[in-house]
């Protein structure tokens, strides 16, 4: 492990967007920009970095493995930086090559050596980085948080840190501590190249270190299933996140990035990606999260097989998350409106689905799964596949009629009616006469389906994390068992071989002579 003690300052746009006439505009713009950069000498052989990318037909993007930037999910690569990078490659009309790193040091080594064109890794814009690199427009804003384990005394500023604080080497967090060293002369910290932010938060929970600094987006995601991690204070507020590239010969590429991010903002694509990855994790409820984690341990095991059995094309974990939101996995749950059971079915819905006993766990889960599938089929086809489920869940809560009303109102407001990001801001308006009088189905408590969907997404993400962690532990246990069996077999073989040698040594000389030579 490489840990250094620090005590003083040291060192969805269509893939055809740019095909055809728009690509021609880019090439003309690139040619004119190149002439300006080369002193208007068209015979100059040097090419801009952007022209090299276009000639190569490949955009090489350096990134880092992280739950917020780039990872392999059940359906392939995902992460906000990956999706934006894919959009940029389509925008330029080239192929995308992601080049992931495990450390920030390696990330910048790749860029400095010219092995990647840009870095898209959720990196904050800092003064120190500005000295050596150029930046794209910001696409996110984060804050830096000091965290500690619940139960110890909460520090209120850097001067009150009374234990080991460890951060990632060459990170924006390390730069922050360097900057505050003047204000807090006794500030002492460690840096590491061996761990990422999530691992450092795990070490805080394990008691191996006392504090670390993390970005707000990472903390929001992590605390969904690690409730004992507490926020001490914010050390840096509102810091932009952007992509990096080398300085020099990159003006054309930077100009293309400015145009690209401008289109991403105006089209609502960045807002949609933020909603997809972070829209449901803005608030943290310690009591609710703890209750959910206990329910996963105590209640879920007995009903999990039923979710798996009746989920059909759905992810059983999503169905289980919805059931927890509905009933907290209480088969006898009942609301003041008369809905009952694990999936809180209405009497009319139960009759339509031929569910005789809503309090029977298996019947309730089967009925809820069928009903959700029916709602999914009624969601407008123009809605993106990964967002259709949110519309269906909202309809499960408030009714499909009100969801369709919200879609129409979203269009009337000049926003995207097929984006959950925009529709979720319209649904609460169904409480206001100005808006619901324009609809077919009238008044509704529209903020409730928004909270309903957000909660399900949080529970679902937590279940995915827990189940993946269990699966990894099971695989490790199986590998250990196989290794144990293998080593036992080797020992048994060695034992037999040893016994044979002993027998040979003790055999009469004439018998040994009769044994043919090998």
- Cα 100 to Cα 106: distance, rounded to the nearest angstrom: 9
**Sign of torsion over alpha carbons 505, 508, 513, 514:** negative
Distance of CA 191 to the CA centre of its chain: 25
Determine which helix (DSSP H) or strand (DSSP E) holds 149, and give its type and residue range: strand 140-149
224: left (phi over 0), alpha (psi -120 to 50) or beta: alpha
To which residue do tokens 């499960």 refer?
A: 396
- Cα 85 to Cα 269: distance, rounded to the nearest angstrom: 12
Q: Is 326 a catalytic residue?
A: yes
Query: In this structure, what token pair is assigned to residue 373?
Result: 């599938």
Provide DSSP, 256-276. HHHHHHHHHHHHTHHHHHHHH
Provide DSSP, 274-295. HHHHHTT-S---HHHHHHHHHH
Which value, to the nearest 10 degrees, does the dihedral of the CA atoms of residues 93, 98, 99, 103 take? 130
Residues 6+ apart with CB under 8 A from 203: 166, 195, 209, 212
**Sign of torsion over alpha carbons 315, 319, 320, 321:** positive
Determine which helix (DSSP H) or strand (DSSP E) holds 92, and give its type and residue range: helix 80-92
φ, ψ of residue 241 in degrees (nearest 5): -115, 135
3 state SS of 354 = coil
What is the Cα Rg of the chain in Å?
29
Say which of 83, 275, 326, 387 is annotated catalytic.
326
**Sign of torsion over alpha carbons 272, 446, 456, 303:** negative
- Which residues are annotated as catalytic? 326
């Amino acid at each position: 492990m490489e840990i250094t003690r620090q005590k003083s300052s040291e060192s969805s746009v269509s893939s055809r967007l740019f095909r055809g006439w728009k690509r021609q505009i880019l090439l003309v713009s690139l040619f004119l920009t190149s002439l300006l950069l080369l002193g208007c000498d068209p015979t100059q052989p040097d090419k801009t970095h952007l022209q090299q990318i276009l000639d190569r037909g490949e955009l090489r993007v350096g990134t880092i493995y992280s739950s917020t930037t780039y990872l392999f999910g059940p359906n392939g690569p995902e992460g906000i930086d990956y999706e934006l990078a894919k959009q940029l490659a389509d925008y330029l009309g080239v192929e995308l090559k992601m080049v992931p790193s495990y450390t920030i040091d390696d990330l910048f080594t790749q860029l400095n050596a010219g092995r990647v064109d840009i870095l898209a890794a959720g990196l904050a814009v800092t003064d120190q980085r500005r000295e050596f690199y150029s930046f794209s427009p910001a696409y996110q804003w984060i804050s830096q948080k000091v965290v500690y384990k619940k139960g110890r005394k909460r520090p209120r500023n850097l001067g009150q840190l009374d234990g080991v604080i460890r951060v990632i080497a060459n990170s924006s967090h390390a730069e922050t501590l360097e900057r505050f060293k003047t204000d807090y002369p006794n500030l002492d910290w460690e840096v590491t190249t061996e761990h990422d932010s999530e691992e450092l938060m795990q070490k805080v929970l394990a008691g191996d270190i006392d504090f670390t600094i993390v970005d707000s987006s990472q903390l929001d995601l992590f605390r969904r299933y690690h409730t004992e991690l507490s926020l001490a204070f914010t050390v840096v507020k509102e810091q932009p996140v952007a992509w990096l590239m080398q300085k020099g010969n990159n003006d054309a590429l930077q100009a293309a990035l400015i145009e690209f991010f401008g289109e991403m903002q105006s089209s609502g694509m960045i807002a949609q990606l933020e909603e997809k990855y972070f829209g449901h994790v803005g608030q943290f409820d310690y009591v609710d999260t703890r209750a959910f984690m206990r329910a996963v341990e105590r209640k879920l095991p007995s009903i999990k097989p039923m979710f798996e059995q009746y989920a059909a094309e759905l992810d059983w974990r999503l169905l289980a998350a919805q059931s927890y939101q509905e009933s907290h996995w209480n088969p006898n749950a009942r609301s003041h409106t008369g809905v009952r059971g694990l999936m809180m079915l209405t009497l009319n819905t139960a009759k339509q689905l031929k569910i005789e006993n809503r309090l029977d766990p298996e019947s309730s889960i089967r009925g809820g799964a069928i009903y959700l599938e029916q709602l999914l089929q009624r969601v407008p086809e123009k809605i993106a596949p990964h967002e259709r489920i949110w519309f269906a869940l909202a309809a499960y809560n408030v009714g499909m009629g009100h969801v369709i009303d919200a879609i129409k109102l979203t269009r009337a407001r000049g926003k995207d009616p097929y984006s959950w990001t925009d529709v979720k801001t319209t649904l609460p308006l169904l409480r206001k006469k100005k808006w619901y009088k324009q609809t077919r189905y009238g008044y509704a408590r529209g903020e409730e389906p928004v909270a309903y969907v957000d909660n399900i997404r949080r529970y679902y993400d937590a279940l995915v994390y827990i189940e993946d962690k269990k699966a990894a532990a099971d695989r490790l246990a199986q590998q250990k068992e196989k290794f144990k069996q293998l080593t036992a077999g080797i020992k048994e073989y060695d034992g037999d071989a040893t016994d044979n040698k002993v027998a040979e040594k003790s055999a009469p000389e004439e018998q040994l002579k009769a044994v043919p030579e090998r």
